[in-house]
Amino acid sequence: MKRTYTGVVRVFVSVLCIGVLSSQTLTAADKAEKPTDKAAEKTVKFPAPVVNQILKGWNGVDWGTPLDKFKTKFPKAAQGPTGRWTTGNGNETLAGVAGNVLYGFNKKGEFNAVTFEPVEAERTLLRDKLIDAGVLREAVKPNWQNSGVSFICVETNDGQIAVILHAKYADPKEKKT
């Protein structure tokens, strides 16, 4: 049975839009840190080079990329029942963890979100592997925000997932009348 996390993603988008996200902002010192030698130490210091890639987008798709360009880049792309898209190319990886990736697009059709659901064997290990790879901080609040991008690792009933959102491309909050 395919699991969906539309509600989880909606909650995070709502939280992000109202500015209550309890993530930490990258500091100049964080940006200056370089990964450590893997032979000398198992854990790569935060932020690892992959963080800079995430700040640009995901899997060669820049934040804000129109849906039409996404479908051109990935001819096998398919939209799921939740409105999220996959590349049609199978599992992708994050910090050496394989998983299903769902791509989100705003109402204008601009790329604005990623949901990374690890394969079943990795679902309880995702946070630790992200910390070891320098994608998350080793801290009480390992999630982060920088340049409009929020990286959130959350627990679900089935394990851990990662959600990445870009605030610049979030749908505007609807005004209540």
Note the pLDDT tens digit of each residue in 27-36: 444 444 444 4
C-alpha dist (Å) from residue 110 to 113, 122, 164:
9, 30, 14
Residue with tokens 């840190």: 33
- Rounded to the nearest integer, the mean pLDDT of the chain is 82
pLDDT tens, position by position, 56-80: 999 999 999 999 999 999 999 999 9
Identify the CA nearest to 102 among candidates 17, 7, 4, 1: 4
Distance CA 83, CA 105 (A): 9
Stretch 88-97: mean pLDDT: 95
Six token digits for residue 165: 């959102």
